[in-house]
Amino acid sequence: MIFNRVLVLCLAAAILTGCQSETISSGSTRCPDRLARDERMEWFRDARYGMFVHYGPFSQWYDWYVSKTLPNKAPEGATPEQRKRWYVAGLTPQRDFARHLARTAKAAGMKYIVFTTKHHEGFVLWDTKLTEFNSMNMGPGFDMVAEYVKACREEGLKIGFYYSLWDFNHPDGIASKHDDASRRRFLDYTQGLLRELMTNYGKIDILWYDGPSPLGYGGEWEAQKMNAMVRRLQPGIIINDRSLTAEDFTCSEGHISATLHPDSDWEACMPFHHKLWTWYPADYKNYYTPRDIVDMFRQIVAGTGNLLMNVGPNPATGHIGNVELERLAVVGKWLEAHGEAIYGHVDRPEALGFITNDAGGFWTRKGNTAYLWLPKWPGGGKIVLENVHGKLLSASIVTNGAKLGIDRAPQADTETVKNASRVTLTGLPKKCPDAVCNYAILKIQFETYPR
Protein backbone atom coordinates (compact mmCIF):
# COMPACT_ATOMS: atom_id res chain seq x y z
CA MET A 1 0.00 0.00 0.00
CA ILE A 2 2.73 2.42 0.96
CA PHE A 3 4.49 1.68 -2.23
CA ASN A 4 1.36 2.23 -4.27
CA ARG A 5 0.89 5.62 -2.70
CA VAL A 6 4.46 6.57 -3.35
CA LEU A 7 4.21 5.64 -6.96
CA VAL A 8 0.98 7.51 -7.43
CA LEU A 9 2.42 10.62 -5.84
CA CYS A 10 5.71 10.48 -7.67
CA LEU A 11 4.06 9.99 -10.94
CA ALA A 12 1.27 12.45 -10.43
CA ALA A 13 3.71 15.10 -9.29
CA ALA A 14 6.18 14.69 -11.98
CA ILE A 15 5.66 12.70 -15.02
CA LEU A 16 3.54 10.77 -17.33
CA THR A 17 0.93 12.55 -19.28
CA GLY A 18 0.58 10.62 -22.47
CA CYS A 19 1.98 8.18 -24.93
CA GLN A 20 1.09 6.52 -28.13
CA SER A 21 -0.92 3.39 -28.15
CA GLU A 22 -2.08 1.30 -31.05
CA THR A 23 -5.36 -0.43 -31.32
CA ILE A 24 -4.75 -4.07 -31.94
CA SER A 25 -7.05 -6.99 -32.28
CA SER A 26 -7.47 -9.03 -29.16
CA GLY A 27 -6.70 -12.72 -28.81
CA SER A 28 -8.78 -15.72 -29.63
CA THR A 29 -11.58 -16.47 -27.21
CA ARG A 30 -11.25 -20.17 -27.96
CA CYS A 31 -9.81 -21.93 -24.98
CA PRO A 32 -6.92 -24.07 -26.16
CA ASP A 33 -6.39 -27.68 -25.37
CA ARG A 34 -4.85 -27.39 -21.95
CA LEU A 35 -2.40 -29.69 -20.37
CA ALA A 36 -4.07 -31.18 -17.33
CA ARG A 37 -3.83 -28.73 -14.48
CA ASP A 38 -1.96 -31.13 -12.24
CA GLU A 39 0.61 -31.66 -14.93
CA ARG A 40 1.10 -27.93 -15.37
CA MET A 41 1.35 -27.37 -11.62
CA GLU A 42 3.74 -30.20 -10.88
CA TRP A 43 7.02 -28.26 -10.98
CA PHE A 44 5.51 -25.38 -8.98
CA ARG A 45 4.31 -27.73 -6.24
CA ASP A 46 7.79 -29.21 -5.96
CA ALA A 47 9.71 -25.94 -6.21
CA ARG A 48 8.53 -24.37 -2.97
CA TYR A 49 10.92 -21.36 -3.12
CA GLY A 50 11.32 -18.60 -5.70
CA MET A 51 12.74 -15.10 -6.06
CA PHE A 52 10.52 -12.10 -6.68
CA VAL A 53 12.37 -9.22 -8.36
CA HIS A 54 10.96 -5.71 -8.22
CA TYR A 55 13.06 -3.69 -10.60
CA GLY A 56 12.27 -0.72 -12.83
CA PRO A 57 12.38 3.09 -12.81
CA PHE A 58 10.44 3.00 -9.53
CA SER A 59 13.58 1.50 -7.92
CA GLN A 60 15.04 5.01 -7.80
CA TRP A 61 12.51 6.54 -5.51
CA TYR A 62 13.67 5.03 -2.25
CA ASP A 63 14.65 8.44 -0.83
CA TRP A 64 11.00 9.19 -0.69
CA TYR A 65 10.65 6.76 2.20
CA VAL A 66 13.35 8.51 4.20
CA SER A 67 12.95 12.20 3.47
CA LYS A 68 9.58 12.39 1.74
CA THR A 69 11.24 14.34 -1.05
CA LEU A 70 12.08 13.31 -4.55
CA PRO A 71 15.84 13.00 -5.17
CA ASN A 72 15.62 15.48 -8.02
CA LYS A 73 13.01 17.23 -10.04
CA ALA A 74 12.01 17.11 -13.67
CA PRO A 75 13.28 20.17 -15.55
CA GLU A 76 10.93 23.17 -15.60
CA GLY A 77 8.89 23.34 -18.77
CA ALA A 78 9.90 19.85 -19.90
CA THR A 79 7.85 18.23 -22.63
CA PRO A 80 6.07 14.94 -21.84
CA GLU A 81 8.79 13.09 -23.77
CA GLN A 82 11.54 14.84 -21.74
CA ARG A 83 9.72 14.08 -18.53
CA LYS A 84 9.66 10.42 -19.41
CA ARG A 85 13.34 10.40 -20.20
CA TRP A 86 14.05 12.15 -16.94
CA TYR A 87 11.90 9.64 -15.08
CA VAL A 88 13.82 6.62 -16.33
CA ALA A 89 17.31 8.18 -16.50
CA GLY A 90 18.50 6.66 -13.21
CA LEU A 91 17.64 3.12 -14.27
CA THR A 92 21.02 1.96 -15.54
CA PRO A 93 21.27 -1.82 -15.13
CA GLN A 94 24.59 -3.38 -15.95
CA ARG A 95 24.36 -5.71 -18.88
CA ASP A 96 24.93 -8.68 -16.57
CA PHE A 97 22.20 -7.70 -14.10
CA ALA A 98 20.01 -10.67 -14.97
CA ARG A 99 22.83 -13.18 -14.76
CA HIS A 100 23.64 -11.79 -11.32
CA LEU A 101 20.01 -12.25 -10.25
CA ALA A 102 19.71 -15.75 -11.66
CA ARG A 103 23.00 -16.93 -10.17
CA THR A 104 22.06 -15.48 -6.80
CA ALA A 105 18.68 -17.20 -6.90
CA LYS A 106 20.20 -20.52 -7.90
CA ALA A 107 22.85 -20.42 -5.16
CA ALA A 108 20.17 -19.46 -2.63
CA GLY A 109 18.22 -22.63 -3.38
CA MET A 110 15.44 -20.90 -5.33
CA LYS A 111 13.84 -22.72 -8.24
CA TYR A 112 12.19 -19.88 -10.14
CA ILE A 113 12.09 -16.11 -10.53
CA VAL A 114 9.22 -13.71 -11.07
CA PHE A 115 10.44 -10.46 -12.62
CA THR A 116 8.54 -7.16 -12.96
CA THR A 117 8.31 -6.84 -16.74
CA LYS A 118 6.01 -3.84 -16.28
CA HIS A 119 5.07 -2.30 -12.96
CA HIS A 120 2.22 0.14 -12.25
CA GLU A 121 4.17 3.05 -13.73
CA GLY A 122 3.79 1.46 -17.17
CA PHE A 123 7.46 1.39 -18.23
CA VAL A 124 7.89 -1.65 -20.45
CA LEU A 125 11.16 -3.51 -19.87
CA TRP A 126 11.15 -5.23 -23.25
CA ASP A 127 11.35 -4.46 -26.94
CA THR A 128 7.70 -3.56 -27.47
CA LYS A 129 6.09 -2.17 -30.58
CA LEU A 130 3.19 -0.74 -28.61
CA THR A 131 4.67 2.16 -26.65
CA GLU A 132 7.70 4.40 -26.81
CA PHE A 133 7.98 4.17 -23.03
CA ASN A 134 10.22 1.12 -23.05
CA SER A 135 13.71 0.06 -22.07
CA MET A 136 15.03 -0.06 -25.65
CA ASN A 137 14.02 3.46 -26.39
CA MET A 138 14.94 5.22 -23.17
CA GLY A 139 16.84 4.48 -19.98
CA PRO A 140 18.69 1.15 -20.15
CA GLY A 141 18.78 0.92 -23.96
CA PHE A 142 18.34 -2.83 -24.16
CA ASP A 143 15.67 -5.51 -23.83
CA MET A 144 15.80 -6.35 -20.13
CA VAL A 145 13.24 -9.13 -20.39
CA ALA A 146 15.33 -10.89 -23.05
CA GLU A 147 18.37 -10.75 -20.74
CA TYR A 148 16.31 -12.02 -17.86
CA VAL A 149 14.91 -14.96 -19.83
CA LYS A 150 18.34 -15.90 -21.12
CA ALA A 151 19.86 -15.82 -17.63
CA CYS A 152 17.11 -18.00 -16.15
CA ARG A 153 17.58 -20.56 -18.91
CA GLU A 154 21.34 -20.60 -18.31
CA GLU A 155 20.77 -21.36 -14.63
CA GLY A 156 17.94 -23.87 -15.18
CA LEU A 157 15.40 -21.70 -13.36
CA LYS A 158 11.72 -21.47 -14.23
CA ILE A 159 10.70 -18.13 -15.70
CA GLY A 160 7.94 -15.94 -14.31
CA PHE A 161 6.65 -12.67 -15.76
CA TYR A 162 5.09 -10.22 -13.32
CA TYR A 163 2.74 -7.95 -15.22
CA SER A 164 0.87 -5.04 -13.64
CA LEU A 165 -2.51 -4.53 -15.25
CA TRP A 166 -2.64 -1.11 -13.67
CA ASP A 167 -0.83 1.39 -15.91
CA PHE A 168 -0.16 5.06 -15.07
CA ASN A 169 1.49 5.69 -18.40
CA HIS A 170 -1.29 4.77 -20.78
CA PRO A 171 -3.62 7.72 -21.50
CA ASP A 172 -6.64 5.44 -21.10
CA GLY A 173 -5.30 3.67 -18.02
CA ILE A 174 -7.47 5.66 -15.62
CA ALA A 175 -10.25 6.76 -17.98
CA SER A 176 -10.99 3.14 -18.89
CA LYS A 177 -12.98 2.87 -15.68
CA HIS A 178 -15.74 5.18 -16.93
CA ASP A 179 -15.43 5.44 -20.67
CA ASP A 180 -16.15 2.57 -23.06
CA ALA A 181 -13.92 3.78 -25.87
CA SER A 182 -11.03 4.27 -23.44
CA ARG A 183 -11.58 0.84 -22.02
CA ARG A 184 -11.51 -0.75 -25.45
CA ARG A 185 -8.21 0.97 -26.30
CA PHE A 186 -6.70 0.09 -22.92
CA LEU A 187 -7.75 -3.56 -23.13
CA ASP A 188 -6.38 -3.85 -26.65
CA TYR A 189 -3.11 -2.35 -25.45
CA THR A 190 -2.98 -4.71 -22.45
CA GLN A 191 -3.72 -7.78 -24.53
CA GLY A 192 -1.22 -6.64 -27.15
CA LEU A 193 1.56 -6.33 -24.57
CA LEU A 194 0.73 -9.74 -23.17
CA ARG A 195 0.76 -11.22 -26.65
CA GLU A 196 4.27 -9.87 -27.17
CA LEU A 197 5.45 -11.32 -23.87
CA MET A 198 3.89 -14.69 -24.63
CA THR A 199 5.20 -14.81 -28.21
CA ASN A 200 8.69 -13.39 -28.25
CA TYR A 201 10.61 -15.16 -25.47
CA GLY A 202 10.09 -18.89 -25.87
CA LYS A 203 8.58 -20.97 -23.09
CA ILE A 204 7.38 -18.96 -20.09
CA ASP A 205 6.37 -20.74 -16.90
CA ILE A 206 4.37 -18.22 -14.86
CA LEU A 207 2.23 -15.21 -15.67
CA TRP A 208 1.99 -13.27 -12.43
CA TYR A 209 -0.62 -10.54 -12.73
CA ASP A 210 -0.76 -7.66 -10.30
CA GLY A 211 -2.69 -4.46 -9.68
CA PRO A 212 -6.05 -5.10 -11.30
CA SER A 213 -7.05 -1.41 -11.17
CA PRO A 214 -8.99 0.54 -12.17
CA LEU A 215 -11.24 -2.12 -13.67
CA GLY A 216 -13.04 -4.63 -11.54
CA TYR A 217 -14.82 -7.95 -11.52
CA GLY A 218 -17.62 -8.90 -13.86
CA GLY A 219 -15.50 -9.32 -16.93
CA GLU A 220 -14.26 -5.74 -17.13
CA TRP A 221 -10.75 -6.99 -17.76
CA GLU A 222 -11.93 -9.58 -20.28
CA ALA A 223 -9.80 -11.87 -18.17
CA GLN A 224 -11.16 -15.12 -19.53
CA LYS A 225 -10.55 -14.11 -23.10
CA MET A 226 -7.15 -12.63 -22.21
CA ASN A 227 -6.02 -15.75 -20.36
CA ALA A 228 -7.34 -18.03 -23.10
CA MET A 229 -5.03 -16.16 -25.49
CA VAL A 230 -2.14 -16.53 -23.04
CA ARG A 231 -2.73 -20.27 -22.76
CA ARG A 232 -3.04 -20.68 -26.50
CA LEU A 233 0.40 -19.11 -26.88
CA GLN A 234 1.88 -20.81 -23.80
CA PRO A 235 0.03 -24.09 -23.20
CA GLY A 236 2.07 -25.06 -20.13
CA ILE A 237 1.94 -21.71 -18.35
CA ILE A 238 0.50 -21.25 -14.87
CA ILE A 239 -1.34 -18.04 -13.99
CA ASN A 240 -2.12 -16.40 -10.66
CA ASP A 241 -5.51 -15.03 -9.68
CA ARG A 242 -4.92 -11.30 -9.89
CA SER A 243 -6.67 -10.78 -13.19
CA LEU A 244 -9.73 -11.46 -11.05
CA THR A 245 -10.39 -14.98 -12.26
CA ALA A 246 -9.31 -18.05 -10.29
CA GLU A 247 -6.85 -19.60 -12.82
CA ASP A 248 -4.07 -21.77 -11.31
CA PHE A 249 -2.92 -20.43 -7.97
CA THR A 250 -3.63 -17.73 -5.45
CA CYS A 251 -1.18 -15.47 -3.62
CA SER A 252 -1.02 -13.75 -0.28
CA GLU A 253 1.07 -10.64 0.10
CA GLY A 254 3.33 -9.89 3.06
CA HIS A 255 1.94 -12.65 5.23
CA ILE A 256 1.75 -16.43 5.28
CA SER A 257 -1.50 -18.12 6.14
CA ALA A 258 -0.93 -21.84 6.07
CA THR A 259 -4.53 -22.63 6.90
CA LEU A 260 -6.08 -20.10 4.54
CA HIS A 261 -5.98 -22.02 1.29
CA PRO A 262 -6.71 -25.67 2.09
CA ASP A 263 -8.02 -26.45 -1.37
CA SER A 264 -5.92 -24.38 -3.75
CA ASP A 265 -2.34 -24.00 -4.80
CA TRP A 266 -0.89 -20.87 -3.27
CA GLU A 267 2.19 -18.77 -2.88
CA ALA A 268 3.07 -16.09 -0.33
CA CYS A 269 5.14 -13.20 -1.62
CA MET A 270 7.23 -11.54 1.05
CA PRO A 271 9.25 -8.32 0.73
CA PHE A 272 12.72 -8.65 2.28
CA HIS A 273 12.15 -5.34 3.97
CA HIS A 274 9.02 -5.89 6.03
CA LYS A 275 7.01 -3.39 4.06
CA LEU A 276 8.75 -2.25 0.89
CA TRP A 277 9.15 -4.00 -2.42
CA THR A 278 11.77 -1.74 -3.94
CA TRP A 279 15.46 -0.98 -3.46
CA TYR A 280 15.95 0.55 -0.06
CA PRO A 281 19.55 0.60 1.08
CA ALA A 282 18.95 1.50 4.71
CA ASP A 283 16.89 0.43 7.66
CA TYR A 284 18.31 -3.08 7.75
CA LYS A 285 16.79 -3.70 11.14
CA ASN A 286 13.53 -4.05 9.24
CA TYR A 287 14.86 -6.78 6.97
CA TYR A 288 13.95 -10.36 7.60
CA THR A 289 16.80 -12.47 8.96
CA PRO A 290 17.82 -15.92 7.70
CA ARG A 291 16.07 -17.46 10.69
CA ASP A 292 12.91 -15.54 9.83
CA ILE A 293 13.06 -16.99 6.33
CA VAL A 294 13.62 -20.50 7.64
CA ASP A 295 10.56 -20.04 9.81
CA MET A 296 8.64 -18.93 6.72
CA PHE A 297 9.59 -22.25 5.10
CA ARG A 298 8.16 -24.02 8.11
CA GLN A 299 4.79 -22.32 7.63
CA ILE A 300 4.89 -22.67 3.86
CA VAL A 301 5.56 -26.39 4.02
CA ALA A 302 2.85 -26.92 6.66
CA GLY A 303 0.35 -25.30 4.31
CA THR A 304 1.76 -26.95 1.14
CA GLY A 305 2.42 -23.54 -0.45
CA ASN A 306 5.34 -21.69 -1.97
CA LEU A 307 7.49 -18.78 -0.78
CA LEU A 308 8.31 -15.99 -3.23
CA MET A 309 10.97 -13.91 -1.50
CA ASN A 310 11.35 -10.43 -2.91
CA VAL A 311 14.50 -8.48 -3.66
CA GLY A 312 14.71 -4.89 -4.93
CA PRO A 313 17.92 -4.44 -6.94
CA ASN A 314 19.91 -1.22 -7.04
CA PRO A 315 18.52 1.04 -9.81
CA ALA A 316 22.04 2.03 -10.85
CA THR A 317 23.33 -1.51 -11.38
CA GLY A 318 20.54 -4.07 -11.20
CA HIS A 319 22.44 -5.85 -8.46
CA ILE A 320 21.01 -6.92 -5.13
CA GLY A 321 22.22 -5.14 -1.98
CA ASN A 322 24.83 -6.78 0.22
CA VAL A 323 22.56 -7.39 3.18
CA GLU A 324 20.04 -9.37 1.13
CA LEU A 325 22.86 -11.15 -0.68
CA GLU A 326 24.45 -12.29 2.55
CA ARG A 327 21.16 -13.40 4.03
CA LEU A 328 20.07 -15.26 0.92
CA ALA A 329 23.39 -17.09 0.87
CA VAL A 330 22.97 -18.13 4.50
CA VAL A 331 19.51 -19.49 3.77
CA GLY A 332 20.91 -21.30 0.71
CA LYS A 333 23.50 -22.96 2.89
CA TRP A 334 20.85 -23.98 5.41
CA LEU A 335 18.79 -25.46 2.59
CA GLU A 336 21.72 -27.61 1.49
CA ALA A 337 21.34 -29.56 4.71
CA HIS A 338 17.57 -29.30 5.21
CA GLY A 339 16.19 -29.23 1.65
CA GLU A 340 14.61 -32.66 1.92
CA ALA A 341 12.04 -31.24 4.36
CA ILE A 342 11.17 -28.35 2.03
CA TYR A 343 11.31 -29.32 -1.64
CA GLY A 344 9.14 -31.81 -3.43
CA HIS A 345 5.73 -33.13 -2.56
CA VAL A 346 4.65 -32.28 0.99
CA ASP A 347 1.45 -33.05 2.87
CA ARG A 348 -0.49 -31.15 5.46
CA PRO A 349 0.43 -32.21 9.01
CA GLU A 350 -3.03 -31.89 10.56
CA ALA A 351 -3.12 -35.19 12.47
CA LEU A 352 0.39 -34.56 13.76
CA GLY A 353 -0.91 -31.49 15.53
CA PHE A 354 -2.25 -33.75 18.27
CA ILE A 355 1.22 -34.98 19.12
CA THR A 356 2.67 -32.59 21.65
CA ASN A 357 6.40 -32.17 22.21
CA ASP A 358 8.21 -30.56 25.08
CA ALA A 359 10.69 -28.68 22.89
CA GLY A 360 8.35 -26.09 21.37
CA GLY A 361 8.78 -27.62 17.91
CA PHE A 362 6.45 -27.56 14.90
CA TRP A 363 5.38 -30.39 12.61
CA THR A 364 5.44 -30.77 8.87
CA ARG A 365 4.92 -33.97 6.91
CA LYS A 366 5.77 -35.87 3.75
CA GLY A 367 3.72 -39.04 3.50
CA ASN A 368 4.52 -41.22 6.52
CA THR A 369 7.49 -39.08 7.48
CA ALA A 370 7.04 -36.37 10.09
CA TYR A 371 9.48 -33.49 10.50
CA LEU A 372 9.85 -31.68 13.78
CA TRP A 373 11.19 -28.14 13.28
CA LEU A 374 13.07 -26.83 16.31
CA PRO A 375 13.58 -23.06 16.51
CA LYS A 376 15.00 -23.64 20.00
CA TRP A 377 17.23 -26.60 20.66
CA PRO A 378 16.24 -28.53 23.79
CA GLY A 379 19.21 -28.78 26.14
CA GLY A 380 18.42 -32.03 27.97
CA GLY A 381 19.48 -34.56 25.32
CA LYS A 382 15.89 -35.78 24.71
CA ILE A 383 12.46 -34.77 23.47
CA VAL A 384 9.25 -36.19 24.87
CA LEU A 385 6.33 -36.69 22.49
CA GLU A 386 2.83 -37.31 23.86
CA ASN A 387 -0.27 -38.72 22.15
CA VAL A 388 1.69 -40.71 19.59
CA HIS A 389 -0.53 -43.36 18.02
CA GLY A 390 1.46 -44.63 15.07
CA LYS A 391 4.47 -46.93 15.20
CA LEU A 392 7.81 -45.16 14.81
CA LEU A 393 10.34 -46.84 12.55
CA SER A 394 13.27 -44.46 12.97
CA ALA A 395 14.24 -41.00 14.12
CA SER A 396 17.19 -38.86 13.06
CA ILE A 397 18.47 -35.30 12.81
CA VAL A 398 18.04 -33.94 9.27
CA THR A 399 20.82 -31.43 9.81
CA ASN A 400 23.58 -34.05 10.05
CA GLY A 401 21.85 -37.40 9.58
CA ALA A 402 22.62 -38.57 13.15
CA LYS A 403 20.35 -41.38 14.39
CA LEU A 404 18.26 -40.87 17.55
CA GLY A 405 17.04 -43.42 20.06
CA ILE A 406 13.30 -44.15 20.41
CA ASP A 407 12.01 -45.06 23.88
CA ARG A 408 8.41 -46.04 24.42
CA ALA A 409 6.97 -45.03 27.79
CA PRO A 410 7.84 -47.50 30.58
CA GLN A 411 5.22 -50.13 31.48
CA ALA A 412 4.38 -48.43 34.75
CA ASP A 413 3.04 -45.50 32.86
CA THR A 414 0.65 -47.37 30.62
CA GLU A 415 -2.30 -47.03 33.01
CA THR A 416 -3.09 -43.63 31.60
CA VAL A 417 -3.82 -43.27 27.92
CA LYS A 418 -1.58 -40.24 27.76
CA ASN A 419 1.53 -41.94 29.00
CA ALA A 420 0.87 -45.10 27.07
CA SER A 421 1.23 -43.04 23.93
CA ARG A 422 4.40 -41.30 25.05
CA VAL A 423 7.59 -41.60 23.03
CA THR A 424 10.94 -40.21 24.06
CA LEU A 425 13.55 -39.42 21.46
CA THR A 426 16.99 -39.78 22.98
CA GLY A 427 20.60 -39.13 22.13
CA LEU A 428 20.25 -35.50 21.08
CA PRO A 429 23.52 -33.56 21.27
CA LYS A 430 23.74 -30.79 23.87
CA LYS A 431 23.99 -28.03 21.31
CA CYS A 432 21.93 -27.39 18.21
CA PRO A 433 23.72 -29.19 15.37
CA ASP A 434 22.80 -26.46 12.89
CA ALA A 435 25.60 -23.90 12.91
CA VAL A 436 24.09 -21.92 10.02
CA CYS A 437 20.77 -20.66 11.43
CA ASN A 438 20.65 -22.39 14.79
CA TYR A 439 17.46 -24.02 13.54
CA ALA A 440 17.45 -27.82 13.20
CA ILE A 441 14.87 -30.34 12.02
CA LEU A 442 14.26 -33.89 13.21
CA LYS A 443 12.90 -36.60 10.94
CA ILE A 444 10.64 -39.31 12.28
CA GLN A 445 9.52 -42.16 10.08
CA PHE A 446 6.21 -43.78 10.96
CA GLU A 447 5.01 -47.14 9.73
CA THR A 448 1.65 -45.69 8.67
CA TYR A 449 0.01 -42.27 8.48
CA PRO A 450 1.62 -40.42 11.40
CA ARG A 451 -0.66 -39.24 14.18
Q: What is the dihedral of CA 161, 166, 170, 176, to 10 degrees?
A: 130
Minimum distance, C-beta of residue 277 to ligand GLC, in the bound complex (Å):
5
Is 10 one of the binding residues for ligand GLC (CB under 6 A)? no
- CB burial string 18-33: b at 16+ within 10 A, e below: ebebeebebbeeeeee
What residue type is assigned to position 389 of the chain?
H
Is 123 one of the binding residues for ligand GLC (CB under 6 A)? no
Size of the site for ligand GLC (CB under 6 A): 6
Is 3 one of the binding residues for ligand GLC (CB under 6 A)? yes
Is 207 one of the binding residues for ligand GLC (CB under 6 A)? no
Minimum distance, C-beta of residue 108 to ligand GLC, in the bound complex (Å):
19
Is 168 one of the binding residues for ligand GLC (CB under 6 A)? no
**Of 253 and 292, CB closest to ligand GLC:** 253
As beta bridge partners, residue 210 has 164
Is 196 one of the binding residues for ligand GLC (CB under 6 A)? no
Is 432 one of the binding residues for ligand GLC (CB under 6 A)? no
Mode of pairing for the β-strands spanning 356-357 and 382-386: antiparallel
On whether the CB atoms of residues 118 and 167 are closer than 8 A, the answer is: yes
On whether the CB atoms of residues 142 and 135 are closer than 8 A, the answer is: yes
**Of 212 and 318, CB closest to ligand GLC:** 212
**Of 13 and 393, CB closest to ligand GLC:** 13
Query: For residue 365, what is the enclosing H or E element?
Result: strand 362-366
Inter-CA distances, 246 with 151, 211, 258, 398, Å: 30, 15, 19, 37
Q: Per-residue x/- mask for ligand GLC, residues 267 to 296, rule CB under 6 A?
A: --x-------x-------------------
Minimum distance, C-beta of residue 211 to ligand GLC, in the bound complex (Å):
6
What residue type is assigned to position 145 of the chain?
V
Is 155 one of the binding residues for ligand GLC (CB under 6 A)? no
Minimum distance, C-beta of residue 293 to ligand GLC, in the bound complex (Å):
17
**Of 168 and 334, CB closest to ligand GLC:** 168
User: How far is 91 from 80, CA to CA, in rounded Å?
Assistant: 18
92 Cβ contact partners less than 8 Å away, ≥ 6 residues apart: 139, 140, 315, 316, 317
Minimum distance, C-beta of residue 208 to ligand GLC, in the bound complex (Å):
8
Is 210 one of the binding residues for ligand GLC (CB under 6 A)? yes
Q: Which parts of this chain interact with ligand GLC (CB under 6 A)? A: 3-4, 210, 253, 269, 277
